[in-house]
C-alpha cells in the first residue's frame, strides 16, 4: 500500500512543459511570466492590482510597511496560525496582541477584539484557518469603527469566498501564499492584493531593494527594500495552477463531504465546521479526544504512519513558543487556542485523493482510537 501524505500538489503535464520552456528561454528570474501571472491574478480578483512575491511571509511584511506600522504600534492577531503571522509583526518593530479563538470556527474570536484595542493599535491581521473565512462583515465593521487597517492573512484562503465574493476581491490588503502545501502553488511564493494603483510603485520597490529604475538605465534607491521577488519559473507554475483553482476547490469540498459521511462520530473527535459554501477546505482538521485515550497525539501520528498515512499538526499555539514566552505570554492566556493546538491533527486532503483514500483514513483512525480508549 502506497504512502498517503496529508497533502500533495496537483501539477499537470502542460505546466511541467511550460516550466521547461521557461528554463530554456534563459529568463528564469522575474520577467515576462511574473507580469503575466500578476495580470491573471488581478483578473481573478476582480481587477484589483496584484503584485507577486517570493513568499506569503514577504507579502505580510510589505503590507505592514505599506500601512506604516513600526515601533510602538500594536497589531491584533490570532495565536492559532503559522508562526509567520506573528513574526512579521515583530520584524516590523511592532507588538503582536493575541486574541483567543472561537472554539468552533477556530478563527480569531471577533467578540474579543474590541477589548484588546488600545491607543497603540494600528491594524488587525485575521487568519482564515484551514480556508474557513473569518466573518468579513463583522471584521470590517470593527476596523471601521476604530479606524484600523486590516491585513488579511489569506495564506490558506485561495478559492474561498465570503457570501459569494471571492476572498481577495474586496477588503483592505490581502496576502496569499502559494507554498507547496497550499490549494494552488508556485512551489514557493505569494501575492499581495492592493487597494489601488497608487500602492504599486512602493510595493515593487519594497520587494526588490528599493530600486527605482529609469529608462536611461540609471537607478535610485529611496527606501530600504528587501529581496522578495518571484521568479518566472514559479510564475509559470502559478499560471498553470490558477485555471484549475475552482475545480481544486470543488474536489476538496467533495472529499470533505466524504470525510463527514464516513467518520465514526462515536469516537469522540471534534470535527471542523461543515461549511461547503465559503470554505475552500485547505485542510481537514479533527481534534483528538486525548483525555479519553491512553496514547498521546505523537503516538497517534506514529500509528497512522505505520499504516502509511501522513498526518500534520496545524498549528501549535504561537504564544507558547519560546520567543513569545520571552515577550511575556504564558500558558493559560488563550485557553481555546492552547486546547486546539494540543489536540488538532490534519488529515490527508488534496485533489488527487480518491474517495477510497478518505475511507482508508477513517478506518485507520477508528482502529487506533478504539484500541486506545482508556
Q: What is the CA radius of gyration of the chain?
A: 21
Active-site hit among 182, 205, 366, 370: 182
Closest to 152 measured CA to CA, from 129, 176, 131, 169 = 176
Closest CA to 8 of 205, 180, 133: 180
Residue 370 bears catalytic tag: no
Cell (9 digits) for 2: 502506497
β 219-221/211-213 pair status? antiparallel
SS3 149: strand
Residue 286 grid coordinates: 479533527
Helix/strand/coil percent split, the chain, to 5: 40, 15, 40
* Residues with catalytic function: 182
Amino acid at each position: 500500500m502506497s504512502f498517503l501524505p496529508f497533502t500533495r500538489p496537483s501539477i499537470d503535464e502542460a505546466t511541467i512543459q511550460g516550466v521547461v520552456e521557461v528554463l530554456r528561454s534563459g529568463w528564469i528570474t522575474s520577467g515576462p511570466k511574473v507580469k503575466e501571472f500578476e495580470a491573471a491574478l488581478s483578473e481573478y480578483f476582480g481587477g484589483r492590482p496584484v503584485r507577486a512575491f517570493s513568499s506569503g511571509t514577504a507579502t505580510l511584511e510589505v503590507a505592514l510597511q505599506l500601512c506604516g506600522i513600526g515601533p510602538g504600534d500594536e497589531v491584533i492577531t490570532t495565536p492559532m496560525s503559522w508562526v509567520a503571522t506573528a513574526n512579521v509583526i515583530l520584524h516590523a518593530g511592532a507588538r503582536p496582541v493575541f486574541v483567543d479563538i472561537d472554539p468552533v470556527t477556530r478563527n480569531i474570536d471577533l467578540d474579543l477584539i474590541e477589548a484588546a484595542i488600545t491607543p497603540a493599535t494600528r491594524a488587525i491581521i485575521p487568519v482564515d484557518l484551514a480556508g474557513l473565512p473569518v466573518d468579513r462583515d463583522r471584521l470590517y465593521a470593527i476596523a471601521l469603527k476604530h479606524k484600523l487597517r486590516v491585513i488579511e492573512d489569506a495564506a490558506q484562503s485561495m478559492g474561498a469566498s465570503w457570501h459569494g465574493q471571492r476572498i481577495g476581491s474586496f477588503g483592505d490588503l490581502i496576502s496569499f501564499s502559494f507554498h507547496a502545501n497550499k490549494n494552488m502553488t508556485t512551489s514557493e511564493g505569494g501575492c499581495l492584493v492592493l487597494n489601488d494603483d497608487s500602492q504599486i510603485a512602493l510595493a515593487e520597490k519594497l520587494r526588490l531593494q528599493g530600486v527605482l529604475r529609469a529608462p536611461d538605465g540609471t537607478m535610485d534607491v529611496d527606501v530600504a527594500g528587501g529581496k522578495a521577488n518571484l521568479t518566472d519559473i514559479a510564475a509559470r507554475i502559478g499560471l498553470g495552477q490558477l485555471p484549475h483553482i475552482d475545480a481544486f476547490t470543488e474536489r476538496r469540498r467533495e472529499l470533505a463531504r466524504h470525510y463527514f459521511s464516513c467518520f465514526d462520530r462515536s469516537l469522540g473527535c471534534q470535527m471542523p465546521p461543515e461549511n461547503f459554501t465559503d470554505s475552500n477546505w485547505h485542510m481537514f482538521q479533527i481534534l483528538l479526544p486525548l483525555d479519553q485515550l491512553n496514547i498521546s497525539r505523537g503516538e497517534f501520528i506514529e500509528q497512522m504512519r505505520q499504516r502509511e498515512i501522513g498526518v500534520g499538526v496545524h498549528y501549535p499555539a504561537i504564544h507558547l513558543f519560546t520567543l513569545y514566552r520571552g515577550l511575556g505570554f504564558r500558558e493559560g492566556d488563550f485557553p481555546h487556542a492552547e486546547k486546539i493546538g494540543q489536540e488538532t491533527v490534519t488529515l490527508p486532503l488534496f485533489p488527487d485523493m480518491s474517495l477510497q483514500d478518505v475511507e482508508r483514513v477513517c478506518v485507520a483512525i477508528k482502529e487506533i482510537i478504539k484500541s486506545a480508549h482508556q
